[in-house]
Structure 1
Amino acid sequence: MLRSALFIALLAAGQRAAAQGADVAIDLELTAATTSGIYTGFVDDAVPNVKQWLGIRYANPPIGSKRFMPPEAAVDNSTHYYARDYKPVCFQQSGSHTGLFWELVPEFQNQDPQGEDCLFLNVWAPKKPVVKKVPVLIWVCGGGQQEGGGHAPYQVPDHWVERMKNHIVVTFNYRLNVFGFPGARAARENVGFHDARLVVEWARDNIAAFGGDPENMIIWGQSAGAGVVGSYIYANGQDPIVSGAIAMSGAVNNPPPDNSSKFTTLAGAAGCGSLSAEDELSCMQNVPALRLQDLVQGTTLPGTNTTAPRFGAVIDNITVFANNTDRLAKNLTAKIPLMTGYTTHENSAFGGYISRDQTAPPPGFSTAPGPSLGCAVQAEIT
């Protein structure tokens, strides 16, 4: 039945493409009809037993009046797309970093381009799975709610999926820094967390088209991504959708109750100062995205001595709560298994290190979080 519906949809899409002079050769084995479009993936010769779909839209562009707002699900049952390329990651607030991650293993960092229209996901599935309904892992990247995305080179799971043949992996972009966690007077919600929830809903509705089991999905995050997972468990007690969760090197944190002063400071630098809450929001929704990106990336705000603010989750009592222990005691959290833990050299990559060709610490060398930790990690990767 699904196959027939897919064929009819593809026939209509092919007729439209032919009328426009486009290539209409479509491989049904690599094509999935979803609620956000009909996507034809590909097989890479480097991993010949893995089907890949890159750059699937799961939400409408969060631009203009939709900036700083919860995401809207993309609805498109008929347009055909070739899902062969990654889409831009969400705007990053990376600043100027030093340390192991950025200097020795940049493969943990996301690649450009960046953009505001960034709410896309990627799917990797075994070509010949060893089970009929394939379990699904939904990966949530880390990055301190400032940076991260769905295709950092060392987090692309294609070779892993080929080795295991028994699971599907979904990765995705979610909004970060001020775009995902504005904390404004008129826009308090942590919309980056809403993005993650929408991805899970998209997977529930569509993963069967890729061979996955919507009743056997696990949300899995690392570092700040683990914080997303922790918040997800507290916020979705009635309908978690997923059947389990993994939180690596992180957990739900204790964010501030209010970020509005940071947003107002940024608004003033963007030309939206001294306005009511609603007018401030409307003005900021009309500031060019690259202008906002430049402001949050700067060390100080233009014309001031004010440090450019960093934005993160706040207590909105929708995605993040002030009373997590009470919610846990009252059984308001998701009733699903949770696996959590940390690494041997936890947090050491953020400390200082001495490269092997140096005989003394460089100027400004810091041993925090400890001189031996950075060295231990460095020894593993150099």
Structure 2
Amino acid sequence: MKQQILSILSLILGPSHVAQDPGLLVATGQGAVAGTLIVPTVRQFLGIPYGTAKRWQPAQIPPVRHNVFQATKYADGCLQNLAPANSKYLILNGNGGTDVPSSEDCLAVNIWAPSKDRKQNTAVLIWIHGGGFVFGTSGIPAFEGTNMVRDNDDITLVTINYRLNIFGQPNPPQYSEKINVNFGLLDVHAAIHWVHANIANFGGDPNRITIAGQSAGGTAVDAYTFAHPNDTIVKGVIEQSGRQAFIVFCGICDHTDWTRVASAVGCGGDGTLQQMTCMRTIAAPILEQAVMSTGASFNLVLDNVTIHEDFQARADKGNLLRVPLLVGSTAHEEDIFLVARQLSTTGLIIPALTEIYSDASSGFIGTCPSSATAAQRLNMGVPTFRYQYEGVFRSLSTRPDLRAYHSAEIPMIFGTYNSTVIDGGVPASAEQIALSKYMQSAWVAFARDPVGGLPSVGWPLYNPNTSTLAQLGNFFNTSGVVFEESAVVDAVCNHQGVLAEIIFQSSQVLDG
């Protein structure tokens, strides 16, 4: 078998590379994949299929391939809702995503692993991107894993795609347990299981897998812990600016958006089986465009598979996966949403008013959910670590009303702050580089050992009554961390009535 692999390597890489066996040809359950040595110390494998799925059906394991899969480019992204505000959000992030090729054939993983001459059997970090479950993709510069694996030992990074908006959670009126389901979350589950089954061949340790995500990705992580309370695969979870899964699903779930889209594409609005048959035949780009043109929004649904109706009761009883948690948010989550919304509508930006609104509402979407999630896990005796990202750097925050905004921490963790294209590309400062290295090392330490990794680098377990909340990149230490009591940032959660009035009044002005 080894001789066969070496022979194939010789054809792919040339005989001079074969003697070193760089580990670029890797066996998987579906056949061999060939990657690249992206830098001398990091192997890269892009676009490997972890599942195949017909529209509105659960993903299946891909068939066995008889040819070597060339894992040298990202797979298509899953179809996105790139409505004006969503597109503007991606542009303000400087991370691309608006021009990524997309299709329904999108279920793929990307892997960055240490070169064969470095430590193998590494910890594994699986990253789940955000985007409100309606947009986003793994194939953008911010999520490129070379720097994290190059600059840290004992880590393999995996990023994934999963189905979005109407393709991910369609919520049609034709009720069926098979189609009223969150297919995007099922995709996440399938990807995690594929990684567990195959990552050892890439040099990763299947017994040390941590899942991490930001925004919707953080919510997907939270949902996984509830859907799989007895899971033995995942050993640690990281939730960045995510919300507890049981408070983000659609409220009424009255199928209005499905009906609106079905009518727009000529399938009628009657909710019959014929309508469903028609919707399955509509070309994906046409469906995608109809979602955007009708203003439809497809949120998570209560499917009692990935999101359960008794979520709160499960939480109260501690019926979830009790593995160590790293949870946190950014100080000014709402900044980027407000700017994106104003730029995509009136085009008029009022920085001072934007900041007032953001300061009031950021607690609702970031600080308070993080605080509640941390408290919930602490009550269950789960080892918990908590942070707030507060860094403001010119290379990422390019406007006075873009401070420590939602997703600003991502390029700091991945070390990709110089890959973003904002304002012509402002160089990172020395403080920013130092903070990025610290944050990256902290996330890697957690992935290596979710219980003891962070304490080993001076980051204590979270206790709301002591100075154990990590404030990253704030005024007092722009290049590192300051530990403070959580009351300093959680005070906003105790004045929600006042804040709601401020938000309401500000929004009236912002919306004209």
Q: What's the TM-score, normalizing by structure 1?
A: 0.82
How far does the alpha carbon of each residue in 1:154-174 deviate from its partner, in whole angstroms, 9 at most, with x for none?
A: 121211210013201110111
Alignment match, 1:265: 260
Given that 1:99 and 1:351 are in contact with CA atoms closer than 8 Å, whether structure 2 keeps it comes out as: no
Q: Does 1:156 align with 2:124?
A: no
1:375–1:123 Cα change, 3 Å = same
Instruction: Select which of 213, 226, 236 maps to 2:228.
Output: 236
- The amino acid that maps onto 2:402 is V
* Alpha-carbon distance between aligned partners in 1 of 2:41 and 2:349, rounded to the nearest angstrom: 48
Give yes or no for the alignment of 1:287 onto 2:282: yes
1:65-85 alpha-carbon deviations (Å, 9 max, x no partner): x20111111131643111111
Partner of 1:335: 322
The alignment partner of 2:84 has SS state of coil
Alignment correspondent of 1:204: 196
Q: Is the 1:141–1:224 Cα contact (8 Å) retained in structure 2?
A: yes
After superposition, the Cα gap between the structure-2 partners of 1:321 and 1:368, relative to the gap in structure 1 and judged at 3 Å, is: farther
1:112, distance to aligned residue in structure 2 (A): 1.4
Residue by residue, what CA displacement relative to the aligned partner does 1:11-47 show, whole Å, maximum 9, x if unpaired?
6xx59xx9xxx86859652111111331010012xx3
Map Cα deviations across residues 316-341 of structure 1 (whole Å, 9 max, x no partner). 11101232221123343112122211
CA distance in 2, matches of 1:81, 1:334: 35
Summarize deviations over 1:337-368 as a string: whole Å, max 9, x none.
22211123223222239xxxxxxx96364744
Where in structure 1 are there 5+ consecutive unaligned residues?
301-307, 354-360
CA contact (8 A) 1:49 1:126 kept: yes
Moved more, 330-339 or 101-110: 101-110
The match for 2:34 is 40
Distance in 2 between residues matched to 1:207 and 1:110, nearest whole Å: 30
**Partner of 1:304 in structure 2?**
none
Residues 99 and 350 in structure 1, CA contact (< 8 A), matched pair in contact too: no
- After superposition, the C-alpha distances for 1:254-305 in whole angstroms (9 at most, x for unaligned) are 312525232122112222225554332222111111111111122x3xxxxx
Q: In 1, Cα distance between the equivalents of 2:323 and 2:242? A: 18
Deviations 1:150-209 (A, max 9, x none): 122112121121001320111011110100010113411000000000000001100000
Partner in structure 2 of residue 97 of structure 1 = 85
Instruction: Tell me the number of residue pairs that the alignment of Structure 1 and Structure 2 aligns.
Output: 350
The alpha-carbon deviation at position 104 of structure 1 amounts to 4.1
Is the 1:55–1:84 Cα contact (8 Å) retained in structure 2? yes
Cα distance in 2 for partners of 1:166, 1:10 equals: 26
| Deviations 1:126-167 (CA, angstroms, capped at 9, x unpaired) | 115754410000000001111111122112121121001320
Q: 1:49 to 1:23 in 2, by over 3 A?
A: closer
Deviation, structure 1 residue 239: 2.2
Which residue in the other structure is 1:377 paired with? 402
RMSD: 2.9
Aligned mates of 2:226, 2:317 — CA distance in 1: 11
2:312 paired residue number: 325
Whether the aligned pair in 1 keeps the contact of 2:121 and 2:154 (CA below 8 Å) is: no
Name the aligned partner's letter for residue 286 of structure 1. Answer: T
Which of 312, 316, 335 is the aligned partner of 1:348?
335
CA contact (8 A) 1:234 1:334 kept: yes
**In 2, Cα distance between equivalents of 1:314 and 1:369:** 33
- In 2, Cα distance between equivalents of 1:74 and 1:309: 31
Q: Which segments of 5 or more consecutive residues in structure 2 lack a partner in the other structure?
A: 341-345, 360-398, 409-421, 424-512
Letter matched to residue 207 of structure 2: E
Amino acid at match of 1:370: I
Q: What residue is the counterpart of 2:129 in the other structure?
A: 141
Structure 1 residues 313, 259: closer, same or farther in 2, change over 3 A?
farther
More helix by share: 2
Matching of residue 195 in structure 1 with residue 182 in structure 2: no
Kept after mapping to 2: 8 A contact 1:352/1:365: no
1:181 matches 2:166 = no
What is the one-letter code of the residue matched to 1:297? M
Distance 1:209 1:268, change over 3 A: same
SS in 2 for 1:85: coil
Residue 305 of structure 1 is matched in structure 2 by none
Please name the residue that 2:416 is paired with.
none
Q: Is the 8 A contact 1:123 1:169 kept in 2?
A: yes
Contact residue 197 and residue 232 of structure 1 kept, 8 A: yes
Distance 2:153 2:5 in 1: 29
Output the amino acid matched with 2:400: C
Percent identity over paired residues: 31
What is residue 155 of structure 2 aligned with on the other side?
A: 167
Residue 52 of structure 1 aligns with which residue? 44
Q: 2:240 aligns with which of 243, 248, 252?
A: 248
Answer yes or no: is the 8 Å Cα contact 1:110–1:151 preserved in 2.
no
The 1:326–1:107 alpha-carbon spacing in structure 2 relative to 1, beyond 3 Å, is same
Q: What is the CA–CA distance in structure 2 between the aligned matches of 1:111 and 1:154, rounded to whole Å?
A: 15
Change (3 A) 1:364 1:72: same
Distance 1:316 1:369, change over 3 A: farther
Higher RCO structure (Cα 8 Å, ≥6 apart): 1
SS of equivalent residue, structure 1 residue 43: strand
